[in-house]
Structure 1
Amino acid sequence: MLSDIRIVEIEALGPAPFTAMLLADLGADVITVHRKTASDVPGKGERNLLDRGKRSIALDLKDPEDVALLRKLLRTADGLIEGFRPGVMERLGLGPEPCLEIQPKLVYGRMTGWGQSGPRVQEAGHDLNYIGLSGALWYGSPAGVPPFPPPTLVGDIGGGALYLAVGMLSGLLKARVTGRGTVVDAAIVDGSAHMMNLLMSLRASGGFRTERGQSLLDGPHWSRCYRCADGSYLSVQCLEPKFYRLFVDKLGLGDDPDFARQFEQGLWPDLGKRLETLFLAKPRTHWLALFEGSDACVAPVLDPESAAGDPHMAARGIWSEEDGRLQAAAAPRFDGNPPPRPRAAPERDAHRDEILAELSGS
């Protein structure tokens, strides 16, 4: 879909390379400017899964000759992605202004936690800090325990990488029409706060409260996970009354007057305890067989390796062993076609000769 787009990515951690991977998955020619030596941060070795489908050239951005090479590369680029703290690229002489002088239609994507302005811009931080400040962490766990959502998904990926991807694509569309580039300020605090607007819409109608454990999606017995006799877990979220009735009927609780009062908040804690006891009496296989094929909104909670073997996930080819590592397929899909199989992540500087040959001919 993006085969005529070239993105230059400056090596960073977390959401910036994820965005570049997503664009590469969608067909863009992503050239990663790696450091000449590997980072000592775990997960950033010589070959990183997030580099799949990309090409690599290693440059020292403090070396004038390498900076000159990067500038030449930018003349051929549609977009640039960087994930440094504000001011770093400017100090390297590679801020938006000089880069847009080199390539006026360049979409300059900036990925940070705190953004490009505000009192915290020079402070260090990570996923939990950003979503804690933005409000997105508040409902991250059941009431009574500290909030902790799945690592990186809400902040780095949801509020960061995906918003940068949308911003990059919007900027690329603008550049196609106007011939002028733009700067995308993608901050995790911005994106993760924006993601809260669905919950804010429920709050406006009375369906969500500030207090944890008191709202439609974070408090009821029909919107949580339960442990089974074998130590595995089930997810239950039958919000709509017709689905809830199926759920309680399948459990043989359809005639119980308390379970019939789905939205009576005062009953939720006791009914949740009753379901805890019930689900603990049988292994997950029993419950999955009971609910199979129904609209009761019950599903297993699986680790990635187990998810790869699930019939639905396997039928869609979502998880696979590629390049010696378990990884998820590209998303979204188009016209019912299976997602493309991404190329393996390259070794650092693997495409130097190829890229230099292209630049010499441009």
Structure 2
Amino acid sequence: MAPAIEPPSGTRPRSSFSQICSSFHRPIEPQFFADLCEQLGVDPSLGSPQRDKARCPALRAELGRILRSRTRDEWTASIEGSDACFAPVLTLSESPSHPRNAARNAFVEIEGVRHPTPAPRFSRSPSAIQGPSARQSSPVAQVLERWMR
């Protein structure tokens, strides 16, 4: 994935536009970028070739115009599941219940506190959260000692 697309300067975003642009990434591979441009309805003359730096300002403006036209949820319903390398930007409260995260058991609850599970997961060296969140901060030396056991 290429760097995030920044919202055009001087624009007041529609609901969720800032969320979309803050971590909406462009696919690096040309075929996925082409699919994203097609899904979004980008003017074909701007999306190809994708690495033409002279076209970047116009492409950025076009993406800003397009992305402001719908909410995050509308874009998600339209694009998710395609080959466009797209994923919605979720809030912390939304993440655990997202179908992809739920299917991967990406979150676990310990003593009433939801935690992301360790990643990556390896078959020969499984990892797990080793206990509940600390009730108070610990001196660094104690933390390092626990890690070294």
TM exceeding 0.5 = yes
**Counterpart secondary structure, 1:250:** helix
Unaligned runs of 5+ in 2: 137-149
Match of residue 119, structure 2, among 307, 331, 335 = 331
Is residue 225–residue 236 contact of structure 1 (8 Å, CA) maintained in 2?
no
Q: Does 1:245 align with 2:26?
A: no
1:231 pairs with one of 5, 13, 16 = 16
Contact 1:259 1:271 in 2 (8 A): yes
For structure 1, which runs of at least 5 residues remain unmatched after alignment? 1-215, 349-362
Aligned to 1:242, what secondary structure does the other structure show? helix
Deviations 1:68-98 (A, max 9, x none): xxxxxxxxxxxxxxxxxxxxxxxxxxxxxxx
Residue 318 of structure 1: aligned partner: 106
Tell me if structure 2 keeps the 8 A contact 1:308–1:314.
Answer: yes
Matched, 1:278 2:69: no
Q: Which runs of structure 1 show a deviation greater than 4 angstroms over 4 or more consecutive aligned residues?
A: 225-228, 336-339, 345-348
Contact 1:228–1:281 (CA<8 Å) still a contact in 2?
Answer: no
Q: Which moved more, 1:269-278 or 1:296-305?
A: 296-305
Root mean square deviation, CA, Å: 3.0
Quickly say closer, same or farther: Cα 1:243–1:345, change in 2 above 3 A: closer
Greater percentage in strand: 1
Matched residues, number: 128
Q: What secondary structure is seen at the aligned counterpart in 1 of 2:25?
A: strand
Q: Secondary structure at the match of 1:299?
A: coil
C-alpha deviation, 1:247, in angstroms: 0.8
Task: Assess, with a 3 A threshold, how the Cα gap between structure 1 residues 337 and 230 changes in structure 2: closer, same or farther.
Answer: farther
Residues 1:306 and 1:291: Cα distance change in structure 2 (over 3 Å) = same
Assess if the C-alpha contact under 8 Å between 2:2 and 2:27 holds in 1. no
Q: Corresponding residue for 1:296? A: 84
Identity %: 27
Q: Is the 8 A contact 2:108 2:114 kept in 1?
A: yes
